[in-house]
Amino acid sequence: MAVRDPEAKRQQLLDAGLAEFAAYGIAGARIDRIAKLAGCSAGLVYTYFGSKDELFEAVFEAILRRTLAGIPITPDDLPGYAGRLFDSHETHPEVVRLITWHQLERAGSGPPLRAVTEAARAKVDAINAAQRDGIVSDRFRPAQIVALVLSLSAMWSSPGPETCAVTDRAFRRATVVEAVRRLVEP
């Protein structure tokens, strides 16, 4: 007799949701494809998450928490932090696509997720403290530095005509790290 593991099934649904939402966005995602990929019925998806929107929010929040835990901000080494973010973008392009879909389909449509606001606040507070300690330049406000570091680390995640010309991964990473170093050095 098979043993039921609700937590394992929930994780399978989150993993299948990540694949589906990254490929098709929220509007294009289909519960039947998610269920098939997770090896369950569409009804079970609704049992666990209630709706496609709730599943998307759960996937997005799980990715956010995993990223925050796996790549914590290091205000005393923001260039290294940017390099680790760059590595994550390169290793997990599906996460970058999911975040892009969230920005395209959800930005400004309601209050931000608590996990997003908590993460942003923690980063700004860490930079603020590093500025007070003289570790990070105060040429920009803490929120600006956070935005710039995140943008620089992700600048090659969505290839465009300007970025496609630089194909050497090591060179791209070194560029990100050096740009952040110059941005934040006191």
Q: DSSP letter at 134?
A: T
Residue 107 binned pLDDT confidence (cut-offs 50, 70, 90): confident
Residues in the chain: 186
Cα separation, 56 vs 63, whole angstroms: 11
Q: 106 and 18 share a domain?
A: no
Q: 37 and 78 share a domain?
A: no
Q: 79 and 51 share a domain?
A: no
Q: In which domain, by residue range, is 47 found?
A: 1-59
Cα–Cα–Cα angle for 80, 117, 7, rounded to 5 degrees: 90
Cα separation, 120 vs 60, whole angstroms: 15
Q: 36 and 90 share a domain?
A: no
Share of the chain above pLDDT 90, in %: 73
| CATH number, domain with residue 52 | 1.10.10.60
| Mean pLDDT (the chain, rounded) | 91
| CATH number, domain with residue 160 | 1.10.357.10
In a domain, 51, yes or no: yes
Q: 110 and 77 share a domain?
A: yes
pLDDT in tens, 29-66: 999 999 999 999 999 999 999 999 999 999 999 998 89
In a domain, 54, yes or no: yes
Q: 140 and 97 share a domain?
A: yes
Please say if the pLDDT value at position 163 is more than 70.
no
Q: 55 and 103 share a domain?
A: no
In a domain, 24, yes or no: yes
Q: Take residue 106 and report the two structure tokens written for it.
A: 């959800």
What is the number of structural domains in the chain? Answer: 2
In a domain, 64, yes or no: no
Q: 52 and 108 share a domain?
A: no
Q: 35 and 99 share a domain?
A: no
Q: 6 and 81 share a domain?
A: no
pTM of the model: 0.86
